[in-house]
Every structure is written in C-alpha cells, then in structure tokens.
C-alpha cells in the first residue's frame, strides 16, 4: 500500500458488491449513534456531573446545552459543504471531531468551563455527522434496498436514545464519554480505510466550494447561535437581555439571509441570465479567435465576466427546497415532534427520580417503552404499510397515536399505586410508535423528492428546525419546572413538584394536539413520491 493510498480515505467499489456496501454502512450507522448518545446520555448524567465538579444544576445543564447550541447552528452549513466536497469526507471529519473531543471531555477533572467548551466542539462534530449520514443512505441504496436501509437507519437511530439513557445512568459522566471516544475511534479507523466514496453526479460537479457564499454562511451560523443561545438562557429566565435581545437579532439575520438569496440574488440572476449565457457562447467562440477578444468584458457590466460571484454563488436556502410537496407541514411537524420528544425525556426522567425516588439508571430503564415503540415502528412501517393505509392516513394515524398517548400520560399521579404501569408504560410505547411512523414516512418522502446533490442541505435544514424545536421546548419546560434544588429544600416538596410536572405534561398535550391538526393539512402523495423502484445507476455507488 502506497503512502498516497494510505492517506486517502475510503475505497471505491462496484455497485454489484452489495454485501460490502452493507458492511460499510453498519459502521456509518455506529458512528451516527454518537449524536443521540451524546444527547440522551448527557441528559442522564446530570447528577454525576454536579457531584464531580461541585456545581449547580443550572451550570451543569450547559454541558448539554453547549452541544445543542453548536449542533443546531452548523447543520445547514455542513450539509451544504458535504454536498460540495463529498458527504463521506464530511462524515469522516465529523467523526474525527467527535472522537477527539469525547476523550477531552472525559479527561477534564476540575474545570466545568472546559467541559462546556469541549462539548460545544462535540456539537460541531455532530452537525457534520447528521446530514452526511442521511445523504450517504440516499446515495448508497436505491429501490427496495433504500427502504431496507431506511429501516436499519431508523433502528440504529432510535435505539441510541435508550442506550444513551441507560449508559449515562450506569456509567456516570466521565466514563460515559470514554465509552463515546472508544466507539468514535473504532468507527473512524475502520471507515478511513473502507468507507465508499459517494461518486459525483453531473449536478455535483456544478457545485464548487469557491462558490459557497461564506459571508452568508457565517451570518447563518451567528443567527442560529443567537437564537439557540437565547432559548437556552430562557430556561432560567425569559426576562433577560440574553433572551429578548439575542433571539430577535438571530431571527432577523435568518430572514435577511433568506430575502438576500431568494429575492435579491434570484432577481439579479434572472435578469442577467441571458447576458451570462451570451458571455459563455462568446468565450467558446473566442477560443478559436484572438486571445484579446476572448478576455474582453464590459467593465460596466461585470456579470458578463465569469468571475461574477452573484451568478455562480450556491444558495444555502434555494427556493426549490420550500417547493417540495408538503414541505412546510412536514417541517413544522418534525419541529413539534422533536419538541414533544425532549419534553418527555427531560420531564419524565426528573419525575421518576424526584417523585418516584428512582435512581438515574432505573429512570432511564423506565423510558425503554418509548424506545421499544420507536424500534417496532422502524420494523413495521414499510412501503407496503404506507401503500395499504395511504400516505396521508398513515401520517394522521401517527398524530392520533401521539395525541392519545399524551392524553393518557397526562393522567400520571405519583400517589396512585402502580402509577407507572397504569399511565406511562403503554402510552410511552404508543408515542414512540407514532413519532417514528411519522419520521420514516417524512424522511422517505423528502429524500425521494430531492436530487442527490441536495440531500445534505435539505436534511440539514429540516434537522435545524428540529433542534430549534428541542431548544424552545426545553426552555419552556425548564421555566415551568423551575429550580428543582430550591424546591427539594422544602419540607413537603412533592405536591409542588407534581403540580409543575403536570403543567409540563399539559404543554406536551398542546404540542401533540397541534401536530394532530397539522396532519390534516398534508396533501396526498403520488406513488412515485413515496416509493422508489428504480435500481442503482452507474453514476451512483
């Protein structure tokens, strides 16, 4: 093996090497596990972190918040960059970042500030992993293999929630992140040698890193950072400049970016497109004429020069994405489902620990029905299931199950004997089934409507919305519950805490009611928009 081969990641394979492609894909999914592990595991290591560093719960919560902050802020940018440079390279970059900063987080013994900073860098790694993994799935597999891959993808993704909760409670903070480092290191080393490069299509070749609008990309990251930071701070109080200043500024930046790209740049490109093509034709003819004619441009109209960035720039928010069928209902449903999911995980974990008196490990185990529902849905929600029930009806059923589960769970009462078995176990399963039913139908619909060279960007946009949903829901829920340490100091704290948890469950009920209503705005899809029958082509892996 030459040095050049050794230092070049991945090995191309023929499209007929199906078993090898699946072998590689399993390691890709193992690496993707790290994202959810770093969320659910950190959720259940809060007490361990407080004890190790002797800090308050609000300070310790930044170990989770810092990860979410950078994760949500960089997903869109890294999704676009992955489409340009190759999603397999972006994936390996994210995995390397995750590996390095996992061991750094685990190694810190005295500084909570260092932990928070390293967790923020971990979030950057996660932002590279997520859209790249979605895009790899869409490029590695076609036809029936795509749905099989989507099922396996979904199983890995949802199992990581349950695994993270249990490992976080069992291992404690430091040991959990040593485990995260070990998984990342194994996956990175193996995939460096075997990952299959995603071959570029003609549309990929038109994407150039030099044409990425980096100033707009920087504005996007800053805007998202401000929004998510403000929402994170809102968990403590909404009446702070850190909240009511940062969120509006961040939102205005996002609106400005969208208008700049889809109003100014689009109008400019449309008005100058004819001149631009004439310039191209002139260049082709000029190559046969004199060099002077070939390089003569109108100085008053720089658009005729191929160096004009306004004609060549790759947009971060191309309007075509928002013209995908059911784009907005699916986007906001995903936003709300993620919000509901984080409300379940944070509120019920604390409910079991403080009102049931369970350990962190047992509290994590009690949420397993949610994971089981997610897994069962991953296996049973197939193209045949969607065809039999219908695209729209399958989504309405998802919303119905989630709403019914929220109503059932809302009856929780720690004073009732066997409260968990009466009001939590079964509805948690139903909620998991409903949520993942939506996830599989939404993901297949979006991926099949999107060209391969936009997979990373599109999934990045949707996942950014989901992360903002998580931040908003977590902030509102944390505000409603308040400072638990203060409440635990009171002699009769349980009734007060129960009242606060009940209010959070009402919030979750409102979220799921909105999702249920949104499902009725979904337009019925054509068979080709939810099914893919064509085999892999020569220009795809």
Q: Read off the pLDDT of residues 451-468 as tens digits, 9 standing for 90 and up.
A: 888 888 898 999 999 989
| pTM listed for this prediction | 0.82
For residue 364, what pLDDT is reported?
85
* pLDDT of residue 426 exceeding 90: yes
Does residue 245 share a domain with residue 188? no
Q: How confident is the model at residue 479 (pLDDT cuts 50, 70, 90)?
A: confident
For residue 333, what pLDDT is reported?
96
**Does the residue 536 lie in any domain?**
no
Closest by Cα among 26, 36, 340, 334 to 165: 36
Does residue 519 share a domain with residue 370? yes
Closest by Cα among 90, 93, 122, 86 to 106: 122
Task: Using CA atoms of 517, 521, 526, 528 in order, give the dihedral in degrees to the nearest 10.
Answer: -70
- Radius of gyration of the chain from its Cα atoms, rounded to whole angstroms: 25
Does residue 485 or residue 477 have the better pLDDT?
Answer: 477
Which domain CATH number covers 345?
Answer: 1.20.1250.20
**Does the residue 208 lie in any domain?**
no
Q: Tell me the C-alpha distance between 223 and 30, whole Å.
A: 31
Q: How confident is the model at residue 62 (pLDDT cuts 50, 70, 90)?
A: confident
pLDDT digits (tens, 9 = 90+) for 86-109: 999 999 999 999 999 999 999 988
Q: What is the average pLDDT across 499-512?
A: 94
pLDDT digits (tens, 9 = 90+) for 258-307: 899 888 888 888 887 766 555 444 444 444 443 333 333 333 444 444 45
**Does the residue 4 lie in any domain?**
no
Asked which of 170, 198, 226 is the last residue of a domain, the reply is 198
Q: What is the average pLDDT across 420-449?
A: 93
Does residue 110 share a domain with residue 173? yes
Question: DSSP secondary structure string, 331-376?
Answer: HHHHHHHHHHHHHHHHHHHHHHHHTS---HHHHHHHTHHHHHHHHH
For residue 11, what pLDDT is reported?
63
Percent of the chain whose predicted confidence (pLDDT) is above 90: 42
Please give the structure tokens belonging to residue 188.
């990175």
Q: Tell me the C-alpha distance between 199 and 279, whole Å.
A: 31
* pLDDT of residue 61 exceeding 80: no
Q: Tell me the C-alpha distance between 90 and 10, whole Å.
A: 12
Does residue 61 or residue 13 have the better pLDDT?
Answer: 61
Q: What is the average pLDDT across 510-525?
A: 94
Does residue 349 share a domain with residue 218? no
Q: What is the average pLDDT across 361-366?
A: 89
Q: Classify the C-alpha dihedral 297-301-303-309 as positive or negative.
A: positive
Q: How confident is the model at residue 37 (pLDDT cuts 50, 70, 90)?
A: confident
For residue 63, what pLDDT is reported?
80
The per-residue pLDDT of the chain, averaged, comes to 84
Q: How confident is the model at residue 355 (pLDDT cuts 50, 70, 90)?
A: very high
* pLDDT of residue 539 exceeding 80: no
For residue 167, what pLDDT is reported?
87
Highest mean pLDDT among 202-206, 262-266, 293-297, 365-369: 365-369
Q: What is the average pLDDT across 45-58?
A: 76
Does residue 374 share a domain with residue 263? no
Asked which of 198, 231, 262 is the last residue of a domain, the reply is 198
**What separation in angstroms does the CA of 210 have from each of 70, 91, 214, 270, 307?**
24, 20, 9, 21, 11
* pLDDT of residue 537 exceeding 60: no
Q: Classify the C-alpha dihedral 130-70-514-160 as positive or negative.
A: positive
* Other CB atoms within 10 Å distance of the CB of residue 397: 17
Q: How confident is the model at residue 401 (pLDDT cuts 50, 70, 90)?
A: very high
**Does the residue 266 lie in any domain?**
yes
Q: How confident is the model at residue 60 (pLDDT cuts 50, 70, 90)?
A: confident
Does residue 220 share a domain with residue 180? no
Please give the structure tokens belonging to residue 351.
């409910």
* Residue with token string 């969320």: 39
Range of the domain at 35: 17-198
Does residue 352 share a domain with residue 246? no
Closest by Cα among 506, 404, 467 to 78: 467
| Count of domains observed in the chain | 3
Asked which of 270, 285, 309 is the last residue of a domain, the reply is 270
Look at residue 212 and give its three-state secondary structure: strand
Closest by Cα among 146, 306, 139, 243 to 472: 243
Does residue 144 share a domain with residue 256? no
Q: Tell me the C-alpha distance between 439 and 367, whole Å.
A: 19
Q: What is the average pLDDT across 121-140?
A: 92
**Does the residue 176 lie in any domain?**
yes
Q: Tell me the C-alpha distance between 193 and 56, whole Å.
A: 44
Q: How confident is the model at residue 143 (pLDDT cuts 50, 70, 90)?
A: confident
Q: Tell me the C-alpha distance between 384 and 316, whole Å.
A: 35
Of 84-98, 155-169, 211-225, 391-405, which gets the smallest average pLDDT?
155-169
């Amino acid at each position: 093996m030459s040095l050049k081969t050794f230092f070049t990641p991945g090995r191309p394979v023929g499209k007929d090497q199906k078993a090898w492609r699946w072998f590689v894909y399993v390691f890709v999914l193992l690496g993707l596990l790290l994202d959810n592990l770093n969320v659910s595991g950190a959720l259940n290591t809060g007490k361990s972190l407080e004890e190790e560093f002797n800090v308050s719960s609000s300070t310790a919560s930044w170990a989770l918040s810092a990860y979410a902050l950078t994760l949500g802020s960089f997903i869109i940018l890294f999704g676009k960059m992955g489409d340009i440079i190759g999603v397999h390279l972006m994936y390996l970059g994210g995995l390397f970042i995750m590996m390095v900063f996992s061991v750094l987080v685990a190694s810190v013994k005295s500084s909570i500030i260092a932990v928070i900073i390293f967790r923020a860098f971990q979030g950057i790694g996660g932002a590279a992993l997520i859209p790249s993994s979605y895009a790899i799935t869409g490029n590695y597999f076609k036809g029936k293999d795509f749905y099989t891959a989507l099922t396996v993808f979904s199983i890995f993704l949802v199992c990581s929630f349950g695994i993270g909760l249990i490992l976080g409670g069992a291992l404690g903070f430091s040991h959990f992140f040593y485990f995260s480092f070990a998984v990342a290191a194994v996956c990175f080393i193996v995939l460096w040698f075997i990952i299959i490069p995603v071959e570029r299509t003609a549309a990929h070749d038109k994407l150039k890193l030099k044409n990425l609008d980096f100033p707009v990309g920087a504005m996007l990251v800053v805007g998202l950072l401000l929004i998510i930071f403000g929402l994170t701070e809102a968990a403590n109080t909404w009446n702070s400049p850190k909240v009511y200043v940062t969120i509006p500024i961040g939102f205005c930046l996002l609106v400005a970016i969208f208008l700049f790209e889809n109003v100014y740049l689009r109008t400019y490109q449309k008005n100058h497109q004819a001149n631009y093509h004439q310039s191209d034709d002139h260049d082709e003819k000029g190559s046969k004429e004199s060099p002077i004619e070939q390089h003569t441009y109108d100085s008053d109209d720089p658009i005729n020069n191929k160096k004009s960035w306004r004609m060549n720039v790759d947009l971060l928010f191309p309007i075509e994405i928002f013209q995908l069928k059911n784009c907005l209902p699916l986007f906001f449903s995903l936003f709300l489902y993620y919000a509901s999911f984080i409300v379940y995980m944070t509120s019920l974990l604390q409910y079991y620990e403080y009102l049931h008196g369970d350990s962190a490990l047992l509290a994590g185990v009690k949420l397993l029905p949610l994971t089981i529902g997610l897994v069962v849905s991953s296996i049973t929600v197939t193209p045949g299931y969607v065809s039999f029930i219908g695209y729209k009806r399958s989504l309405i059923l998802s919303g119905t199950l989630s709403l019914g589960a929220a109503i059932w769970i809302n009856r929780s009462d720690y004073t009732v004997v066997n409260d968990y078995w009466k009001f939590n176990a079964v509805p948690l399963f139903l909620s998991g089934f409903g949520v993942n039913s939506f996830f599989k139908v939404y993901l297949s619909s979006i991926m099949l409507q999107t060209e391969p060279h936009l997979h990373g960007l599109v999934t990045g946009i949707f996942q950014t919305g989901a992360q903002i949903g998580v931040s908003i829901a977590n902030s509102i829920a944390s505000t409603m519950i308040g400072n638990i340490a203060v409440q635990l100091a009171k002699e009769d704290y349980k009734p007060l805490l129960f009242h606060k948890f009940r209010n959070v469950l009402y919030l979750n009920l409102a979220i799921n009611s909105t999702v249920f209503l949104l499902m009725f705005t979904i337009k019925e899809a054509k068979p080709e928009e939810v099914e893919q029958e064509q085999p892999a082509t020569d220009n795809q892996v």
